Structure 1
Amino acid sequence: MKKSLSFALLLSLGAFSQLSLAEQTLRFGVDPTFPPFESKASDGSLQGFDIELGNAICAQAKVTCQWVQIGFDSSIPALQAKKFDAILSAMSMTEKRREQVDFSAMIYNTPSALLTPKNSALTDDIGTLRGKSVGVAQGTIQETYAKAKWAAQGVNIVSYPNQMEIYPDLVAGRLDASLANAVSAAQGFLNTPEGKNYAIQATLLDKELLGNGVGIGLRKGDAANLKLINDALAQLHANGTYDRLAKKYFAFKVYP
């Protein structure tokens, strides 16, 4: 009798363990205003490289994905407040951010770009930028860089809630340029009818302020989710899923 009871208890515990695994959820925070990394489709659904990569991570780890939409500049405080488990929203890994969050393995590396009208004489040389207005998205490394390097030298840095709100003012002539992620600028604006008269005039790489690649941000000390994500990423590289997604969204190599 006791032996039968013990066996039944073991079966019950095993079933509970499997159920718990099946019901595990990984919540990603995302600001869907950075195509082709993350944006909204016409039906309101999320789309983009980061979205497909996150869903692939969850499928590989056999957990359920949940996406929480939030403004980029609020993402780290929201992560620390446990509103979600990880930030998957084109977040560059800077030393300043490493003081607040832990990062996964790098998921891609792209430069920042100065976006201007095609007939503009502006470059990243401060002599051409002085007295001009440059739009940046709040909370981004581009905002940090522009304020640190250019603002004190006479460049008017204008911050917007997100990158998509910058483009109308750029087209209307209220801005002279924008500093943005190069891929997002090229594929999210230059490839559109509104962006046909604009071009990338310079690309910038600064490891201290612009970071050394993009990673998935997690709460400090969250070893379990960090391992889950890194293990899944390693498998996605090994089985070809990462390369397939990268070729779908990018015209050039974004991962070493």
Structure 2
Amino acid sequence: MKLTKTILTAATVLAISLGGAMAKEWKKVIIGTEGAYPPFNYIDTDGKVKGFDVDIALALCAEMKVECEVVTQDWDGMIPALLAKKFDAIIASMSITDERKKTIDFSEKYYNTPPAIVAPKDTDIKGVTPEDLAGKTIGAQSSTMHADYAEKILTQSTLKTYPTADEYKLDLAAGRLDAVTDDSIVLGEWLKTEAGACCKIVGLVKSIPEIHGIGAGIGVRKEDTDLRDMFSAAIKAIRANGKYKEINDKYFPFDVYGD
């Protein structure tokens, strides 16, 4: 019995030693974002990717003491690109949903804001229920929880999806859509612009966790649990040390972290 215990102990030490040797030491993390979802991520006039997501990414990397590089990727190809190891993490306002968790893993959330419905100012739409939107053509960005919501809940409406948010905004402004659904912050920022002067927020949509998820998280490959945990710890740290508030207040008049 004693011999068996000794052998097991030696085997355990060896396994830990080998595991430690095989564990990845994260010195540089490449972040994938979209660059077409202002104010969270966008390409500025100087050609650089900026926004809340980007500032949060840089702050988290600084907290984790790793070098950080941000690259852009079309939204529809975001998860495939992560799995293909084109980058190490997604920080692109990607909601934590059960469907996505079948393929990738997520950190804790780093913000959570409600969805909304926007329509032209002269719309006859009175609310955001399926009945209010019956017979209407609704625009949404493809492969998002908002498109998923429209498809599953707004079944009396016609859904039209677009590769980017900019494209559905153009169609709404041109009168080719009756309404659109997206994050309330994204839509609210657009309404402040000249292009968005056509339209108004009809109302906020009550989030359904099974569809909308539990907030935006940082997506990583399932095997990179150490990186996932590093990001989660860093999110808590910047929330505690004031860096999150500093970034939040640069973009928003209220705390977007949510409940």
Q: Shorter-chain TM-score: which interval? A: 0.7 to 0.9
Deviation at 1:248, TM superposition (A): 1.1
Partner of 1:7 in structure 2?
none
Partner of 2:233, secondary structure, is: helix
Deviation at 1:64, TM superposition (A): 1.3
- TM superposition score normalised by structure 2: 0.86
Aligned pairs for 1:22-41 within 5 A: 24-41=27-44
Aligned length: 233
- Counterpart Cα distance in 1 of 2:232 and 2:132: 43
- Counterpart Cα distance in 2 of 1:52 and 1:218: 18
Amino acid paired to 1:245: I
Partner of 1:3 in structure 2?
none
CA contact (8 A) 2:76 2:142 kept: yes
Partner of 1:146 in structure 2?
150
- TM superposition score normalised by structure 1: 0.87
CA contact (8 A) 1:121 1:128 kept: no
Deviation at 1:197, TM superposition (A): 3.1
Structure 1: unaligned runs, 5 residues or longer: 1-19
Match of 1:111 among 111, 114, 119: 114
Partner of 1:196 in structure 2?
197
Partner of 2:38, secondary structure, is: coil
Q: Does 1:101 align with 2:104?
A: yes
- Counterpart Cα distance in 1 of 2:132 and 2:225: 47
Partner of 2:211 in structure 1?
209
Deviation at 1:231, TM superposition (A): 2.3
Deviation at 1:196, TM superposition (A): 2.0
Q: Does 1:51 align with 2:33?
A: no
- The root-mean-square deviation of aligned C-alpha atoms, in Å, is 1.6
Q: Does 1:137 align with 2:141?
A: yes
- Counterpart Cα distance in 2 of 1:89 and 1:207: 19
CA contact (8 A) 1:49 1:246 kept: yes
- Counterpart Cα distance in 2 of 1:96 and 1:186: 27
- The CA deviation string for residues 155-177 of structure 1, in whole angstroms up to 9 with x for no partner, is 11111011011111111101111
- Counterpart Cα distance in 2 of 1:235 and 1:131: 47
Structure 2: unaligned runs, 5 residues or longer: 1-23
Runs of 4+ in 1 over 6 A off after TM superposition: none
